[in-house]
Structure 1
Amino acid sequence: MKNTFLKIGLGVLLAATALNSCRDEFVDSQFFQSVQQSPLNSIEELESFVRGQYTTMRSSSYYGGDFLMIPEVRSDNMYSDFANGAGYYQTVASYSMVSSDQYATNPYQAMYTVLAKSNIIINNQPSGALTWKASQDPAAILQKSDYLKGQAYAIRALVLFDALRLFGQEYAGGLLGVVVPTKYDPTSLQTRSTVAATRSQIEADFDKAVTLMAPAALNLYGDKTTVNLLSVKGLMSRYYIYKGDFAKVRTLVNDVVTSGRYSVVGPNDYARSFTQANAAQNSMFELSVGSLADLGTTSIAYKLLPAPNGYGNMKVLTAMRANYSANDVRRDGITTANVLNGKYLNGFDNIHVLRYEEVLLNGAEAELQPGGSTVNALKYYNLILANRFKASTAIPVFVPAVAVTLDDIYMERRKELIGEGFGYWDLLRLGKPVTQRSSSGVAGTVRTVGNNLLAFPIPRAELNVPGTLVVPNPGYAN
């Protein structure tokens, strides 16, 4: 890989973020104008680049839209009504992608732009002593710098994990992972790492983040728009549940739960929690959007909602809606026309990357594996269910479960996390078949793990870089 690809993307990014905060303007202008990035000499500059990571992550081709919708298109939860909607995700749904496909190219570009920013933070060597307006104490400045670098390590780990799932060959019959840049070097040409080597870097980065972010005083848990020590551990539980390291998941989830800093949102606040900015009790990490950065017609909301508020492109499968009990508050968020309107309602809503409920589900699944505790699994499972049933005189109130199986957990994941970008990845990690669906949701071709089309094509823009060492994924020679 050569970072020329990244510099092309930064021109677009510069225009897209012109209305954001001064911090974002600094990041994008400084980064775009420099072929070799200049040293960052203050804590304020480092913070700007940290925020710049999040700015890129919220783009409509990454967490602001495509990266969350793509796994739903290929799931047992939703489908793309591309015939009657705006045509979004037709090539993804029909497995007709080519190497120039926008749903491969745009997420790839966004991911590697984030990685470039992370690497600038991680490898920063100031030209003198770092300065900070808040303190002149060298020890405090160093601790703050390390904490910011910890955030960059955590984000680099998350983005590499995202790229590995989308472009790596782990479930597509091969051994190749993705390009793993650890420095920002515009002249670099790199090969794709193996899946194993990519995973090793992800794990090393997460571990480094935990070490650097340990100081309690620097973790501002009230600000959910940046990662903190606990949200990093929550993201790690996501990674390790996909890897199948259940002992790790159990430890990480226990750390989050026993902290007492988060709780499951109640039935009366469930729908509202998705439109609350930086406030919901279950939000562990969200990307700030707001009115100035409104994603508008490119947002998740526009993919989900029908006219006049959207294109109505993404629909819930009828069979999926039938899985909800009549008094389940989540059923209220799915209309009889199979529109998911209980989550993202506006283009300016913050994007919820990590919720406490996901962490609990990770923990419940891990506790049901060898070496785990069924008592803990039940506790985590009931914490969610107890807050999903509304009171009704006609329908009995929720009665806590006295037993839970892995199948129960898998179904609860589908019901709780629908529309949030988990369906396809869960099918693959569990070795389940993936069913292709028509624009009306009718089942068609079934693909199993090992099929080369289960990995996305490496973008043509990457493969066309002169002297590239990157090889394509099989099945995408065009």
Structure 2
Amino acid sequence: MKKIFLILSTVFALGLYSCSDSFLVVESKGSILESDYYKSADRLYSGLVAAYDPLQWFDYFYQYNSLNMVSDIMADDIYCGGSNEGDQPILVKAHFYTATPTDVPNMIWTTAYSGINRSNIVIAKAPEIEMDEALKALYVAEAKVLKSFYYNILWKFWGNIPYYNENLSFPYICDQMQADQVYQSVITTLEEALAANVLPMKARVGEEGRITRAMAYMLYTEMVLYQNDESRFGKALLYMKEIIDSKQYSLVGDFKGIWEENGEWGPESVWEINYISEGGVRNWGSPIATGGSVYPVLIGIPGYVGNAFCDGWGFSPVAESAYTMYDQGDIRRDGGILDFSKHASETGASYTARWQDTGYFLLKYIGRKNGNHGYTADPNLNYGNNQRVYRYAETLLNAAELIVRGAGSGDAQTYLNEIRTRAQVPTVSATLDNILEERHLEFMGEGKRYWDLVRSGKAQSVLTADKHQYRTESWTPQKKYWPIPQSEIDKSAGTLTQNPY
């Protein structure tokens, strides 16, 4: 059952600012100050809903910033694409490792801090409200995990960022933390949320999209592995085993079906970001309105003539090497990538090639025909494709990796075998390199490859200009953190130091 936990977003005004700005004004028929608004359980719940809202904005908030896409175009499986090299400079420069403080996906920064601010309000206001204590504890735990999710995004892209647990007052400036300090602060917040022991392992039917214990465990393990924090490997492994032993999640046999509308929130889904097409009112003037996603059109097949897919804009073409890396019988190849020559021969479909075209498209997310059914505003902004953030397949591979890296006991081989058996390919030994390569195969186009290369120390040898069809610059450790947006440097009154890039 598809359910979106964002229905109350219209209660809130456009509180879309970074750490340097004021944040939230709640409005009704008149105006109510934030300090007077949070007086009941219902209003705290409204604030929690508002903290979820920015999850939807990453795909488009006056910039095309889909987290999957922006991450993948910095790796080796997916090119930037679009109409030409001058189309969407922030994406092209991220792709080429030539980002600048004025040409960087700065709306990711803005959106993430909007989510942090909204989460902080729930955490701060909850103690003042007389309500059921168990429900209050649940809302606070959800807000803490949401805040951690938003900080995780900022930490991975920018590293050295302003960090605060209480929203700022005028002049809205705080000190910059170094990346290692940010990690310690965020992981501690996550541990606090989990220690409350109030989050369910899986969301109830009708509440899919809310924070769960399994989601928080996955976020925790993602951060611990990215930081290579061996002191927390044991705890992360226990968390993965708890998800596995709960029997509430499982792999599905039809890999291709995961990415269809009827595959959303299936047995394999640990957490998704919800988008809806029915009644979708998102439009170019109001990208924060409730509705769908533009990502399926953005990466869709340009000039498509046929019956299966929508006409798209040709961003994120899949490299031929990504298609050919799979074994011939691996169901993830044609279950996740569209080989257009094969599609054309079977259906007579055609398309118009654009910049960096390869003839391969990301089947996982390209727009299906009528994928925006029921929209009421802009058709391109209201495709109902959920973003699959965490799948049970990653739980298994996380567990296998942690065991191989000495986190504790367990059968890494069995976990790896489950993944490869579903893919219909022979087993391989559960070595660290094989597990990392399995992640490459399993999560192609899901925004994970780049971060795996960085955390494993492989980025500098893999992401070289001589191995890429278009790049002239290679990745270096200095490219790990993007330049901080110049607008933030300008507002910081000297408290922000620019990242070298």
Q: Give the shorter-chain TM-score range.
A: 0.7 to 0.9
Equivalent residue, structure 1, for 2:25: 32
Equivalent residue, structure 2, for 1:76: 76
Q: Secondary structure at the match of 2:473?
A: strand
Equivalent residue, structure 2, for 1:7: none
**Residues 277 and 112 of structure 1: is their aligned pair in 2 closer, same or farther, counting only changes over 3 Å?**
farther
Q: Secondary structure at the match of 2:223?
A: helix
Counterpart contact for 2:272–2:389, Cα < 8 Å: yes
Counterpart contact for 1:456–1:473, Cα < 8 Å: yes
Matches within 5 A, 1:23-422: 23-28=8-13, 31-33=24-26, 37-59=35-57, 60-61=59-60, 65-82=65-82, 84=84, 87-88=87-88, 89-101=91-103, 103-125=104-126, 129-130=130-131, 141-168=132-159, 177-187=160-170, 188-214=172-198, 220=204, 223-244=207-228, 245=230, 246-266=233-253, 268=254, 270-276=256-262, 279-291=265-277, 292-293=279-280, 299-307=294-302, 308=304, 309-332=311-334, 333-336=336-339, 337-345=359-367, 346=371, 347-373=383-409, 376-389=411-424, 398-399=425-426, 401=427, 403-422=429-448
**Residues 147 and 461 of structure 1: is their aligned pair in 2 closer, same or farther, counting only changes over 3 Å?**
same
**Residues 37 and 108 of structure 1: is their aligned pair in 2 closer, same or farther, counting only changes over 3 Å?**
farther
Report the Cα offset of residue 25 of structure 1: 1.5
**Residues 126 and 454 of structure 1: is their aligned pair in 2 closer, same or farther, counting only changes over 3 Å?**
closer
Counterpart contact for 1:271–1:342, Cα < 8 Å: no
Q: Secondary structure at the match of 1:330?
A: helix
Report the Cα offset of residue 81 of structure 1: 2.2
Structure 1 vs Structure 2 CA RMSD? 3.1
Q: Which amino acid aligns with 1:107?
A: I
Report the Cα offset of residue 48 of structure 1: 2.0
Q: Secondary structure at the match of 1:78?
A: coil
Deviations along 1:277-306, whole A, 9 cap, x unmatched? 753111111112101447789722123221
Report the Cα offset of residue 194 of structure 1: 1.7
Report the Cα offset of residue 217 of structure 1: 9.9
Counterpart Cα distance in 2 of 1:285 and 1:248: 20
**Residues 447 and 96 of structure 1: is their aligned pair in 2 closer, same or farther, counting only changes over 3 Å?**
closer
Counterpart contact for 2:65–2:107, Cα < 8 Å: no
Counterpart contact for 2:96–2:473, Cα < 8 Å: no
Q: Which amino acid aligns with 1:352?
A: R
Report the Cα offset of residue 163 of structure 1: 0.6
Report the Cα offset of residue 129 of structure 1: 2.2
Counterpart contact for 2:48–2:143, Cα < 8 Å: yes
Counterpart Cα distance in 2 of 1:325 and 1:197: 42
Report the Cα offset of residue 150 of structure 1: 0.2
Counterpart Cα distance in 2 of 1:419 and 1:61: 18
Q: Which amino acid aligns with 2:69?
A: M
Q: Secondary structure at the match of 1:183?
A: coil
Report the Cα offset of residue 215 of structure 1: 6.2
Deviations along 1:61-103, whole A, 9 cap, x unmatched? 48995322111111122111245588341111122322122x4
Report the Cα offset of residue 276 of structure 1: 3.5
TM-score with structure 1 length normalisation?
A: 0.80
| Consecutive unaligned residues in structure 2, runs of 5 or more | 16-23, 27-31, 285-292, 305-310, 340-358, 372-382
Counterpart contact for 2:120–2:143, Cα < 8 Å: yes
Pairs aligned (count): 425
Counterpart Cα distance in 1 of 2:123 and 2:465: 43
Counterpart Cα distance in 1 of 2:70 and 2:214: 27
Counterpart Cα distance in 1 of 2:72 and 2:484: 21
Counterpart contact for 1:39–1:126, Cα < 8 Å: no
**Residues 294 and 441 of structure 1: is their aligned pair in 2 closer, same or farther, counting only changes over 3 Å?**
farther
Higher relative contact order (CA 8 A, sep 6+): 1
Q: Secondary structure at the match of 1:339?
A: strand
Report the Cα offset of residue 207 of structure 1: 0.8
Counterpart Cα distance in 2 of 1:294 and 1:323: 40
Counterpart contact for 1:87–1:313, Cα < 8 Å: no
Please tell me whether residue 461 in structure 1 is matched to residue 448 in structure 2: no
